[in-house]
């Protein structure tokens, strides 16, 4: 974004806040606070990003006023002619981006995309295989407190747990095959929320074929990398692909389902609507279309390459400061930091709190075989999509690692935290948000 366009966007944002302030000053004030927070902090939560003004605009537009239950050409309400065109563009761009034939852009979130796929491919009580949450899976991949574990039967394949193994803390594909051959699941799921290594989709497809299952790849975290060719694509191996449209894809918060199988596409469409959702969020679908269009541009590939380069640089710098990175490093946009190598008493909950006070926003996260509970954890999950959107480079990652080390080595002491906070603000001023 040029200086002039950034100035124009800031002026528009100010004008919109002024309008809201006159109508509802309480909400306007909180929105301004959040705008300031994002402008002056470094976002290291791997599942978050900063959208462009072009992606943001449709979400606050008149498109929010319309009910459009159904699909293009088959709506249950009148007045949908332009919404049909918007949704068709979004679907076409999604298919072009990922090399699929059919796209459903209506899911409100990644979890709802998974819910619809489960409903389309399985009956309640059917078995599916996935990686357990504590090893890097997702809530919607079989947690008992979630629909996936409450109405279906999850079985889990493991990571390599032996520290001396060459593939320590990476997926144990042989064990995955063994689990699937013993349980014969209807669906094999791959794709994770806290896994820093490349996923071998072809190997998972071979396992699924051998046990008679369908392969579903949830690429919510790596979708942007996949779209740019920086991570191998799940197509043509996966029967169905689900994803969010935010995170690395840098779109609005929402979900997406892709397939190249026409019969599965029909089942999925019925499962989304009327199966698990009513009216689609057309203002969000328009933003998805804009984001997909941005992702089709050549500069998006360069951005994703920088995301990975920054992640590797940050991981390497943290290792030099004495932190252990699970699996020894990262191939994608995120890393899991084992804090115990710095101090046995250092927890993810404390680290998250101290770093946020210093303007470095991240999230506590369990590490594989973590002895601590999820509200405490022994680790942090760090990601580089948002800071790369700001423009930070590999040299900045070395600086950032030093700040993280300083804050945590000082156990969040006020002097260290205050000094780092000032340095973070200075860096944010050098790399302003669009």
Q: Which amino acids are annotated catalytic?
A: 67, 69, 218, 244, 247, 253
H-helix or E-strand containing 418?
helix 414-430
| Beta carbons within 8 Å of 239's beta carbon, 6+ residues apart | 208, 214, 215, 216, 259, 261, 264
Q: How crowded is residue 1: how many other Cβ atoms within 10 Å of its Cβ?
A: 14
Angstrom distance (rounded) from CA 400 to CA 395: 9
Dihedral pair phi/psi, residue 259, rounded to 5°: -160, 165
Asked if 113 contacts 269 with a C-beta cutoff of 8 angstroms, the reply is: no
Bridging pattern class, strands 214-218 and 187-190: parallel
CA-nearest of 286, 296, 300 to 89 is 286
In degrees and rounded to multiples of 5, residue 241 shows phi and psi of -125, 130
* Cβ neighbours, 10 Å, residue 314: 28
Which residues are 164's β-sheet partners? none
For 143, other C-beta atoms within 10 Å of its C-beta total 17
C-alpha dist (Å) from residue 425 to 39, 377, 381, 428: 9, 28, 22, 5
- What is the β-pairing status of strands 324-325 and 334-338? antiparallel
Shortest CA distance to 142 belongs to which of 160, 161, 157, 162?
A: 157
β pairing state of 240-244 and 255-259 = antiparallel
The greatest distance separating any two alpha carbons of the chain, rounded to the nearest whole angstrom, comes to 64
Distance CA(223)–CA(345), nearest Å, equals: 36
For 359, 395, 413, the CA distances from 399, given in Å and listed in that order, are: 14, 7, 19
Contact present, 143 and 153 (Cβ < 8 Å): no
CA–CA separation, 317 vs 339, rounded Å? Answer: 14
């Amino acid at each position: 974004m040029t200086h002039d366009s950034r100035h124009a966007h800031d002026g528009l944002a100010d004008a919109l806040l002024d309008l809201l302030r006159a109508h509802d000053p309480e909400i306007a004030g909180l929105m301004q606070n959040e705008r300031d927070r994002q402008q002056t902090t470094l976002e290291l939560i791997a599942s978050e990003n900063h959208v462009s003004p072009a992606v943001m605009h449709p979400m606050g537009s008149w498109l929010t006023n319309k009910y459009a239950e159904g699909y293009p050409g088959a709506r249950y309400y009148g007045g949908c002619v332009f919404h049909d065109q918007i949704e068709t563009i979004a679907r076409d761009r999604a298919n072009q981006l990922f090399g699929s034939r059919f796209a459903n852009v209506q899911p409100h979130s990644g979890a709802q995309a998974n819910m619809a796929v489960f409903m389309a491919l399985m009956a309640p009580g059917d078995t599916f295989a996935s990686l357990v949450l504590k090893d890097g899976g997702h809530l919607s991949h079989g947690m008992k407190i979630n629909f996936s574990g409450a109405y279906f039967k999850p079985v889990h394949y493991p990571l390599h747990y032996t520290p001396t193994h060459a593939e320590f803390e990476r997926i144990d594909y042989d064990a995955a095959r063994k689990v699937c051959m013993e349980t014969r699941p209807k669906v094999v799921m791959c794709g994770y929320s806290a896994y820093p290594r490349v996923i071998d989709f072809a190997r998972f497809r071979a396992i699924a074929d051998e046990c008679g299952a369908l392969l579903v790849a949830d690429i919510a975290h790596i979708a942007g990398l996949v779209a740019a060719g920086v991570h191998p694509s799940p197509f043509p191996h996966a029967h169905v692909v689900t994803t969010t449209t935010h995170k690395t894809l840098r779109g609005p918060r929402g979900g997406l389902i892709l397939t190249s199988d026409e019969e599965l596409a029909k089942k999925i469409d019925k499962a989304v609507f009327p199966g698990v959702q009513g009216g689609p969020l057309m203002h969000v679908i328009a933003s998805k279309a804009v984001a997909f269009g941005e992702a089709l541009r050549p500069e998006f590939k360069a951005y994703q390459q920088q995301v990975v380069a920054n992640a590797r640089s940050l991981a390497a710098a943290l290792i030099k400061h004495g932190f252990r990175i699970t699996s020894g490093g990262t191939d994608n946009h995120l890393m899991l930091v084992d804090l115990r190598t710095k101090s046995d008493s250092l927890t993810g909950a404390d680290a998250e709190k101290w770093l946020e006070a210093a303007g470095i926003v991240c999230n506590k996260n369990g590490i594989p075989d973590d002895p601590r509970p999820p509200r405490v954890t022994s680790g942090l999950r760090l990601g580089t999509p948002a800071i790369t959107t700001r423009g930070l480079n590999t040299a900045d990652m070395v600086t950032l690692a030093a700040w993280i080390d300083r804050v945590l080595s000082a156990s969040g002491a006020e002097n260290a935290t205050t000094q780092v906070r000032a340095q973070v603000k200075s860096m944010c001023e050098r790399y302003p948000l669009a």
